[in-house]
Amino acid sequence: MLLSLIADHYIPGSTILDIGSGSGLVEEQLFRRLPDALVVGVDYSPAMIAMAEKRLAGKDKQFVTVQHDLCDIQSAKLPERDYQLAFSVQTIHNLPPESQRKVMSWVHKVLSKGGFFFFLDRIAVPGADSFSCYQSVWKRQERVYSSSIDEGRSFPEHQQYLDEQGDSPLTLQENLKIIAEAGFQASALDVRGNRALIACVKIIAAG
């Protein structure tokens, strides 16, 4: 779904920004859909950046990575481009909540007017009373996709799991709030258990 959104909204000649580009897995698929796309990734991990360079060998004129800590995003220096589209997959929940908020504002600033930010990430289970609902979703996903999802058997275990991973996901409502406060119009396009794909549009002001 993310790749379809990117392909449908990409404007040739503009640049796509990937927040937390990691080992270039998403770009590998993206270049199959959009062979001429230009992408700038931001990530702080030299190991991940090296993996991405290896995976995307031959695309070095189209894909560049800016090595930078997202916790200090305001000081990031991006190549000067027309950023019409941004996306982030499974990254922003790794940051402390205040940094998540700053990243949203920064993406809004970097994007051109009318630009889109597609945000696909983990969201928080809002409280112990809802936990059984998420367990049902995970159990169903295990049955349907023959995969194993182990995020704790109780809410306290789940929270411990997040602590151990160093993750601080926000709830869907908190995410929608910080996205709106950054100036975006937000649409939760697909929410499944504790994963959400949110389209954020930089509104073109009337007049």
Binding site for ligand SAM (CB under 6 A): 20-22, 25-26, 43-45, 48, 69-71, 89-91, 94-95
Q: Which CB atom, from 85 or from 95, has the smaller least distance to ligand SAM? A: 95
Q: Which CB atom, from 44 or from 155, has the smaller least distance to ligand SAM? A: 44
Residue 125: CA count within 13 A, CB half-sphere: 24
Q: Which CB atom, from 49 or from 176, has the smaller least distance to ligand SAM? A: 49
- DSSP for 137-189 reads HHHHHHHHH-----S-SSHHHHHHHHHHHT--PPPHHHHHHHHHHTTEEEEEE
Least distance from ligand SAM to the Cβ atom of residue 123, Å? 15
Give dist(CA 200, CA 156) in Å, integer: 32
Q: Which CB atom, from 15 or from 131, has the smaller least distance to ligand SAM? A: 15
Least distance from ligand SAM to the Cβ atom of residue 69, Å? 4
Give dist(CA 27, CA 63) in Å, integer: 8
Least distance from ligand SAM to the Cβ atom of residue 29, Å? 10
